[in-house]
Amino acid sequence: MTIRLGPGTTVFFTGDSVTDCEWREDSQGHLGFGYVSAIAKSPRAAGATIVNTGNGGDRIIDLERRWQSDVLDHHADVVSILIGVNDTWRRYDSDQETSAAQFEASYRRLLDAVAAAGSMLVLIEPFVLPLSEEQQAWRDDLDPKIEVVRQLAAGYGGVLVPADVELTRQAGELGAAALAYDGVHPTELGHARLAELWLDRVAANRR
């Protein structure tokens, strides 16, 4: 798939707090203070219109509830999605389980709607960089969801951003806390590395 970043291209980013990145509505362009803002400032995305509709705490079902107003109504050229870690987290802190099958079914409905609208897709792997044995146990729940995202990216002809694979590799070199201060939410360096990875995968698909 060819994705052309530049003038005339609108890219929508959506997902949970990793995309929202704190006080998004108070930031320049409402882009937040994380990887979306870094992408917008990159020369590799120069001229593209960047929009962020990430919302802290969202699970896949929350994304689905606001999909029409937050994404489809805007007719974006590219839709980039990062979702899934809260579907795991809520199992362990609130006993609200989302099975991999439920996650996949909801995700497919989102992608079906985007595909029907003609937008191109970028799917980012959800990730956790464990800082404790408790978070390490999350892998039993999150890994099947990551595999769902990989399969959906392939099945829908989207670009896969292997955030879990790459950030886990980097965490082995730098330490998890250098990239995600609580194992989930990226540090400034973590956001910078995620932005670089996104651009490496997506901008590489430019004409």
Tens-digit pLDDT profile for residues 76-118: 999 999 999 999 999 999 999 999 999 999 999 999 999 999 9
Give residue 23's pLDDT band: very low, low, confident or very high (50, 70, 90): low
pLDDT digits (tens, 9 = 90+) for 39-72: 999 999 999 999 999 989 999 999 999 999 989 9
**pLDDT for the residue numbered 128:** 97
Instruction: Sort strands 10-15 and 159-161 into parallel, antiparallel or unpaired.
Output: unpaired
User: Given strand 49-52, what is the order of strands in its sheet?
Assistant: 49-52, 10-15, 78-82, 120-124, 159-161
User: Which helix (DSSP H) or strand (DSSP E) does residue 39 occupy?
Assistant: helix 35-41
For residues 178-184, average pLDDT: 96
Is the pLDDT score of 28 beyond 80?
Answer: no
Q: The domain 10-205 belongs to what CATH superfamily?
A: SGNH hydrolase (3.40.50.1110)
Are residues 176 and 130 in contact, defined by beta-carbon separation less than 8 angstroms?
yes
User: Coil, strand, or helix at residue 82?
Assistant: strand
Q: What is the pTM of this model?
A: 0.94
**pLDDT for the residue numbered 1:** 61
**pLDDT for the residue numbered 43:** 93
Phi first, then psi: give them for residue 72, nearest 5 degrees.
Answer: -65, -35
Give residue 6's pLDDT band: very low, low, confident or very high (50, 70, 90): confident
Is the pLDDT score of 152 beyond 50?
Answer: yes
